[in-house]
Copies of this chain bind each other. A is one copy, B any other.
Amino acid sequence: MQDFDNFFSAKSIAIVGVSRDSRKVGHVIFRNFVDTNYDGNVYPVNISGEEILGKKTHKSILDIKEKLDLVIIAVPAAAVFGVIEQCHKKKVSHVVMVTAGFKEEGQFELDRKLEKLLAKYKIKVIGPNCLGTFDAYSKLDSLFLPRYRLQRPKEGGISFVCQSGAVGSSVLDLATDEGYGFSKFVSYGNAMNVDEADLIEYLGKDEKTKVICLYVEGVKDGKKFMRVASEVSKKKPIIAIKGGKTAEGGKAAMSHTGAMAGSAEVYSGVFKQTGVIETNSLEEMFETAKMLEKLQKPKGSRVLVITNGGGYGILSTDAIIKNGLQMAQLSKDSIKFAKTNLPRVQPHNPIDLLGDANTEGYRNAIQMALADNNVDIILAIVLYQTPLVTTDVVDVIIEARDMKKKPLVIVSAGGEFTDVLSRSVEDNNVPAYTFPENAVRAIKHFVDYYGK
C-alpha cells in the first residue's frame, strides 16, 4: 500500500516549466494554484527566472529552500531527465509529469531510460503524458486546462481514475455542470510506475471516496489489478468502462496509449469476477456512480413507482421488468392506507397520482412506501410542469431522504424550471434522472452491487 497523499494534498509544490505564455501548459497549471489561492507553498520554476503572474520564480528547484512534497513537471521530454536529477537531490519522492513524447510517440528508448532513472531514485510518477490530478477538497489542481474551458467539480464522493486525458477532462467538465461532487480525479497517462491498480488501492483507503470510476484501455498488470479490485470492491463500488472492446476499437487503443486491449470477454470476465460494475457508456457510468454515492444499501430489488404522469409509470414498469428487477406488490396495510388517504388513486404499482397530483399526494404515497415492507426502493416520477405540484414537493422528497429508511430515486424531465428543482433534490443527496430508463439502468447496477 503506497501513500499517494502528496499527489492530492501536497503542502509545498514546485511547478517546473512555467512560461509567461498564458496558453502554455506550465503557465495554466500555475495559474490554477494562484486563482484558487491554494493553501500551501507553490513555487513556479523557470530557467529564465523572470517574474510570472506577479510572483518570483526560481531557476531550479534546487534554489528553493523548503522541502518539496510534490514536483509538477511541464518541460519538454528531453529536459525531464535533468529535472529528475534535481528531484533526487531535493529528496522529492512524488512527481506529476504532464510532459508527452515518450512511448506514446514511439520513443521507447527515452521511455526505458526514464523508467530506470525513476526506479533508481525511487520517485513515484503520475504520467508521463497525462493530464494530472485534481482534489476537490484540498483544491490541488495540476490539470493543464484553463478553468474557463473546463470547470472544476465541487466536493463529493466520486473519484475518477482515467487512462485518457481527453475522456477524463471532458467528463469532469460535464459532470461538474450537472452538479456531481468529486473527491479525487487522476489522469495517469502512460502509467510508468503508478498504474490504475495502485490508484484504486489508494482510493480504497481514501475516506472521502465513496465510489471509484475507472476508464481503462488496457490494464497494466492483470494479476495486480485482480487482487486490488477484488479487495477494494468489497469496501466500495468500482465502476469501469473499457475502451477498445471490439477488435477495431482495440487496434485504435494500441495506437493511442500503446495498451494491449485484450478481448472483450476477458475484460468482462475479470470485471465480473472481481466485483467491478461494468458499464457500456460514460453516461451509464456516472449515472450509476451518483446513485451509489448518495444512497444506502437497499434490502432487495422490489421497486415501487410513484408518478403524476401515467406514461412514465408505464415506461418505468417496462424498464424495471426488462432489467430483471421486481415491481413491488403493495401490502394490505398500504392498500388500506391508500383507500383512505389517496382516494382517487388505484392502489397498485405503478401508483399513478394522476395529472392533478399535489404535494400532499406525494407525501402520502412516499410515507406509505417507506412504511411498506414489500417495498425496497422507491422510484418517484415528479413532473413539475403541472401547477398543482408546488415546489414544496422538494421538501417532501428531502424529508423522506432524511429518514434514511429506503433508497429514493427521482425522475423529472423538463426544461429550466425542472432543472432548478432537480438540482435542489440532488444537492440534498437524492439522485435525480431525466429519463426513467436511465434511472432504472442505474438501479439495476445498484441492486446488483449490494446483492453480491
Interface set of A (CB-CB < 8 Å, partner B):
23, 28, 100, 145-146, 148-151, 162-171, 173-174, 176-177, 215, 217, 241, 243-249, 252-253, 255-257, 280-283, 307-315, 317-318, 320-322, 327, 346, 348, 350, 352, 355, 383-388, 412-419, 434-435, 437-438
Q: Which of A162, A164, A217, A320 has the most CB of B within 10 A?
A: A164
Cβ-defined partner of A167 (8 Å) among B151, B163, B315:
B315
Name the B residues within 8 Å of A243 (CB-CB). 311, 314-315, 318
Name the B residues within 8 Å of A162 (CB-CB). 311
- How far is it, in angstroms, between the C-alpha of A145 and the C-alpha of B384 when the chains are bound? 10
* Known pairs A177-B415, A255-B346; A164 contacts B317 (CB<8 A): no
- How far is it, in angstroms, between the C-alpha of A435 and the C-alpha of B177 when the chains are bound? 15
Q: How far is the CB of A419 from chain B (nearest CB, A)?
A: 7
B311 contacts A413, C-beta separation under 8 Å? no
* Known pairs A283-B434, A283-B437, A435-B281; A385 contacts B145 (CB<8 A): yes
B315 contacts A174, C-beta separation under 8 Å? no
Name the B residues within 8 Å of A165 (CB-CB). 309, 311, 355
Chain B residue at minimal CB-CB distance from A100: B355
B322 contacts A174, C-beta separation under 8 Å? no
Chain B residue at minimal CB-CB distance from A22: B387
A437 contacts B280, C-beta separation under 8 Å? yes
Cβ-defined partner of A164 (8 Å) among B170, B244, B309, B438:
B309
Cβ-defined partner of A177 (8 Å) among B145, B167, B414:
B414
**How many copies of this chain does one complex carry?**
2
Chain B residue at minimal CB-CB distance from A320: B248
Name the B residues within 8 Å of A308 (CB-CB). 166
Chain B residue at minimal CB-CB distance from A215: B311
- How far is it, in angstroms, between the C-alpha of A260 and the C-alpha of B313 when the chains are bound? 16
A-B CB contact pairs (8 Å), 6 listed: A150-B417, A170-B309, A174-B434, A246-B318, A249-B315, A283-B434
Name the B residues within 8 Å of A417 (CB-CB). 148-151, 173
Name the B residues within 8 Å of A167 (CB-CB). 309, 311-312, 315
Cβ-defined partner of A166 (8 Å) among B248, B282, B309:
B309
* Known pairs A166-B311, A310-B164; A387 contacts B146 (CB<8 A): yes
B170 contacts A383, C-beta separation under 8 Å? yes
Chain B residue at minimal CB-CB distance from A145: B385
Name the B residues within 8 Å of A169 (CB-CB). 383, 385
- How far is it, in angstroms, between the C-alpha of A309 and the C-alpha of B168 when the chains are bound? 10
A173 contacts B314, C-beta separation under 8 Å? no
B249 contacts A282, C-beta separation under 8 Å? no
Known: A164-B312, A173-B415, A245-B318. 5 other contacts (CB 8 A): A166-B355, A246-B321, A256-B310, A257-B310, A281-B438
- How far is it, in angstroms, between the C-alpha of A148 and the C-alpha of B248 when the chains are bound? 48
- How far is it, in angstroms, between the C-alpha of A280 and the C-alpha of B435 when the chains are bound? 11
Q: How far is the CB of A328 from chain B (nearest CB, A)?
A: 11
Leading 4 A-B pairs by shortest Cβ distance: A166-B309, A164-B311, A177-B415, A256-B310
